[in-house]
């Protein structure tokens, strides 16, 4: 009893030296050993835990293979920390047909193949959006979502609005996706003369949709040199602006064009758009255009040019 009381009193006073029979030497040896292990940790390959950051992020899908008994089928192999792990689509979850299609579409990296397979196996654009976010891609990998999405849209034999709605969802989600889509569209615009007819048409509808839904601002056209337009670019802009003018509600149309009415840096864009609408859309309208459609086009053109000058009542 006396021993127990003395021990409890020593612990209470935080003075273990008063415990009867206490020998501090073994504890001190263990402390020195611990400090030595901590200092030497990571000094050699045999002491390194061969686990990547991607393995931790994807533990729910692949299991915690670094803990005994916590791994299951589909977990990646250990790679000595030299390569990324969780970028390949899980085997058995993607059909060979999809993987072959990814190869034909030149999805030549694991990240691109993973994004492509996720998009192709989604039920709708909302499902695709959620699954792509769950990939937890970072920086350059995340920008690959935009490049794959645009490429898939252009490669379709007929325009599929699925890609446009998915693109709009990402633009709505965070502004950095707007910037990536903007740069991607600029790249395609510079290469218009080399695009096949189907790709060209799909790009027209994609850009028009993103402008109509305000997913992207009209300022994405600021790279256009209106004084040096060649035939492919005139054709492209005419189709895009015709769709925007004819398929957008009047109130939304005024808002779209008014967004570029105040910035001094966009003065050339405003003047270029006004000249292009007046010359190529109104005067250059096809002879087959019905009288009703021509009147509607002229009314929408007047509304848009007034909005560019800041005179639209929005």
3-state class (DSSP) for residue 289: coil
* Contact between residue 92 and residue 121 where contact means Cβ atoms under 8 Å apart: no
Q: Which of 191, 199, 112, 173 is nearest to 147 (CA)?
A: 112
**What is the pTM for the complete model shown?**
0.68
Which pair of tokens denotes residue 140? 């350059």
Tell me phi and psi for residue 63, to 5 degrees.
85, 160
Q: For residue 25, how many C-alpha atoms fall within 13 Å in the half-sphere facing its CB?
A: 2
* Helical H segments across 105-192, by residue range: 110-120, 125-134, 140-155, 161-173, 175-190
Residue 75: CB atoms within 10 A of its CB come to 19
Per-residue pLDDT in tens (0 to 9) along the chain, 314 residues: 777 777 777 777 766 666 666 666 776 777 777 777 766 555 554 445 556 666 666 666 656 555 544 544 444 444 444 344 344 444 445 677 888 788 877 887 888 888 988 998 899 999 999 999 999 988 889 999 999 999 999 999 999 999 999 999 999 999 999 999 999 999 999 999 999 999 999 999 999 999 999 999 999 999 999 888 999 999 999 999 999 999 999 999 999 999 999 888 999 999 999 999 988 888 766 666 788 888 999 999 999 999 998 754 44
* Contact between residue 170 and residue 142 where contact means Cβ atoms under 8 Å apart: no
Using only C-alpha atoms, the chain has a radius of gyration, in whole angstroms, of 31
* Helical H segments across 174-266, by residue range: 175-190, 197-212, 231-247, 250-258
Given phi > 0 = left and psi -120 to 50 = alpha, else beta, which region is 274? Answer: alpha
Q: Specify which residues 63 forms β-bridges with.
A: 71
């Amino acid at each position: 009893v006396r021993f127990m009381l003395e021990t409890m009193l020593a612990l209470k006073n935080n003075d273990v030296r008063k415990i009867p029979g206490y020998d501090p030497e073994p504890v001190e040896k263990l402390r020195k050993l611990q400090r030595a292990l901590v200092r030497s940790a990571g000094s050699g390959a045999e002491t390194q835990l061969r686990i990547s950051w991607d393995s931790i992020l994807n533990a729910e899908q692949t299991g915690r293979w670094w803990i005994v008994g916590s791994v299951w089928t589909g977990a990646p192999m250990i790679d000595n920390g030299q390569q990324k792990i969780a970028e390949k689509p899980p085997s058995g979850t993607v059909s060979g047909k999809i993987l072959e299609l990814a190869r034909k579409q030149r999805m030549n990296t694991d990240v691109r193949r993973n994004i492509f397979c996720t998009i192709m196996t989604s039920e709708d654009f909302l499902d695709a959006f959620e699954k792509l976010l769950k990939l937890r891609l970072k920086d350059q990998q995340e920008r690959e979502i935009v490049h794959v999405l645009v490429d898939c849209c252009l490669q379709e034999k007929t325009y599929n609005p699925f890609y446009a709605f998915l693109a709009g969802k990402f633009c709505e989600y965070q502004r950095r996706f707007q910037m990536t889509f903007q740069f991607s569209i600029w790249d395609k615009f510079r290469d218009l003369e080399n695009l096949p007819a189907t790709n060209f048409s799909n790009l027209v509808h994609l850009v028009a949709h993103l402008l109509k839904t305000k997913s992207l601002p009209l300022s994405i056209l600021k790279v256009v040199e209106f004084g040096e337009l060649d035939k492919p670019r005139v054709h492209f802009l005419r189709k895009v602006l015709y769709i925007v003018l004819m398929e957008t509600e009047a109130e939304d149309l005024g808002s779209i064009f008014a967004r570029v009415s105040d910035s001094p840096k966009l003065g050339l864009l405003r003047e270029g758009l006004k000249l292009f609408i007046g010359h190529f859309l109104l005067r250059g309208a096809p002879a087959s255009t019905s009288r009703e459609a021509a009147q509607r086009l002229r009314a929408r053109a007047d509304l848009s040019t007034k909005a560019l000058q800041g005179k639209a009542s929005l």
